[in-house]
A and B are shown apart, each in its own frame.
Chain A
Amino acid sequence: MSSVDRREPDALERETLLAYEAPPPPADMADRVLAALRTEVRPRVSRRTRWMLLVASLAVAATAVALLLPRDGAGRASSGHRAAGARESIAIGDRAVAVAEAGSELSWTVQADGAAAVDQRRGDVFYRVTPGQEFVVAVPGASIRVLGTCFRVEVSEMRPRNKILAAGGIAAALTVAVLVTVYEGRVRLENGQGEAELVPGEQGTAAAGTPPVREPLAAGAAAGDRRTSKSALEARVRDLENKLRRAEKMLGDGQAPVILSSPAEQQFAAEQRDPSWAPGQEQRIQERLTRFVGLERGSATVECRRTCCQIALDAEDLTRVLDDLQSDAGLKHLEGTGGGTMWLAGGKEGVDRVSLCLQPDEDVQPSATRPDRGEEREALLLASRPAVEECMRGAATAIDFEMTLAIDPGGEIVDVTSKTDPVGHPAATCLEQALLSAARLAPSTRPTSFAVRLHLDPLR
């Protein structure tokens, strides 16, 4: 390590500075880090725009094309195809095992760096995957991106499940449905219509032409599966840890975490429902939650009364979307929630509540003096898309990019904070410029801010 030249004339007295001592890190820090990495391979990204999915899809398509090209055979690259006549265990490279039930058919390609692409055309296959490089299972109408580690994929031909029909309103033309069950770790079920991240104890369904749907594991499916009950307990522990972490952060921010009794919640409890006001607000809040905050439709319950509304949502969802929810692209553009009387959460197990009260005559709908930063963010993403794609053309690795804009009442950007993962990614500066040059922001009655978060795969 380097050493400062202590002869600097204005250097501060070291003894004085060292009086401000720092304690050692917790003894179990390394254990915590490794445990976290075992359960999550990719960084969490709280919001991904629809068109970014298109970019990702293009990247996946490019990868698929690359997989068809002859390889030099270096490293552990391998490929194979199997149509199982009876239950069969199949090694996919050296970090995944697939247990294929009779009637299943799959083919796979593993690259030298361990990245694997599986094409499961039919049948019922259980996968156990060691965290590492990308592992994607393509099924008809969707793909499943493995964030680690243990899940089952069932592809049903000509036998769509009722719940898929109910959830997606799929027409009779449907030919294939997919059911994914997660036992450990996480997987992301995605297609051109959307995505759903699944954790232990959850199932996801997908079919061509309809967004993936997430739902709790059916009780019958969970019964007798010890892995599932263990995973459910782990999910519960994670839920509690998330709550504790949020409370600690709020304490650190000087905000008191209010459980069950925030002013907004008390006011909400005291109000009666106004049928001329509540339904419209509920609908508009739901629209914002889906469109700008990144919650799946139907994953939050919104109830409004006379001036206050309450949103109930999954505790993990709240942790994931809290920043966007509190930004001006979410719900903070409301005058009533901007003054610090907003939220907080409490609730029964696994569910958190967010309460907000509006000023008299205020509406969730933006107005001329209160521009919709959510819409502006969408416009920014749309306008910057060609430039953003150019930034990623030829890039060697994917990037998670987050840029927070602080906007003064005149609509000028006065502060920009960017964060990339990995740090120092060559595309970072290009992305920042691409987004900033596309920003068109209207004046408002007060300073506002919001974040843009992107996950981008390289484009060939």
Chain B
Amino acid sequence: MAAAVAPSAIPSGELDEVTLARARRGDDDARRQLVLHYQARVFRVLWRMLACRGQAAMAEDLCQETFERVLRSLPGFSASGPARLSTWILTIATRLALKELRRRRVRDAAVFRLEPEASPGPDRQAERAALGHAVRRAIAGLSPDHRAVIILREYEELEYEAIARILDIQVGTVKSRLARARAELREALDEQR
């Protein structure tokens, strides 16, 4: 059984090369460390992408699927290639989320209904919770493509080039989508205030 590694003990950069090489050889301890290293970020992206009902179960599902795919395909990943490991992992996670969102959009437009929000109370915590709900609702109103660029740029702070690689689009397209998404988000938030 692998030694437990507390998520908080994981550094924020890329996985070290030795552990990556061990993971590529199928070493279970190293594969576990890889998941622990990147899982918080992957789950965060998926959670925010799936800003809708059932998001918890679906985010967990897709998070697991992301890492299953990562570990299966790891022997084919080139550490010296153009994509960093984190970008590659986020590519898989983002595309799974986009696929899920598009599938839902076709099947049932009501998918974007949100869970009932808590009534904001007088205290600061309640105000922040209400603001969180407002942001969530605004993000849920974006198209999947716009949602992806907002989350990767505004939350994950990725460079344009990395976002372009993840979404398989041109850098110029990233910028134009981001501008439109920001405008839509700002407008939606203003309407809710």
Contact = CB atoms under 8 A, between A and B. Distances in A.
Given A29-B39, A419-B99, A245 B108 contact: no
A33 B54 contact: no
Contacts of B73: 421-423
Nearest to B57: A248
A25 B139 contact: no
Contacts of B153: 4
A449 B91 contact: no
A65 B63 CA distance: 40
Contacts of A417: 98-99, 102-103
Contacts of A251: 53-54, 57
Interface string B168-184: 00000000000100110
A393 interface: no
A25 B69 contact: no
Interface in A408-460: 415, 417, 419, 421-424, 449
Contacts of A24: 7, 40, 43
Interface residues of B, number: 76
A23 B40 CA distance: 9
A69 interface: no
Interface stretch (A9-17, A46-54, A202-210, A373-381): A9-17
Contact of B60 (A1, A2, A26): A26
Contacts of B52: 252
Contacts, number: 160
Interface residues of A, number: 48
A55 to B, nearest CB: 20
Contacts of B61: 245, 248-249
A7 to B, nearest CB: 13
B111 A25 contact: no
A331 B71 CA distance: 35
A16 B131 contact: yes
A349 interface: no
A386 B164 CA distance: 32
A36 B68 contact: yes
Contact of A30 (B39, B51, B60, B139): B39
Contact of A12 (B36, B40, B132, B154): B154
A34 interface: yes
Contacts of B18: none
A301 interface: no
A407 B57 CA distance: 30
Nearest to B32: A30
A252 B57 CA distance: 8
Contact of A34 (B28, B43, B69, B131): B28
B74 to A, nearest CB: 9
Given A33-B68, A251-B53, A423-B95, A19 B128 contact: yes
Contacts of B113: 254
Contacts of B58: 248-249, 252
B141 to A, nearest CB: 13
Contacts of B83: 424
Given A12-B182, A33-B64, A419-B99, 10 more contacts: A4-B159, A20-B51, A25-B43, A30-B67, A34-B28, A252-B50, A252-B58, A419-B95, A422-B73, A423-B69
Q: What 10 A-B pairs come out closest when comparing CB atoms?
A: A252-B54, A25-B43, A422-B73, A20-B135, A19-B131, A248-B57, A30-B35, A19-B132, A22-B47, A22-B44
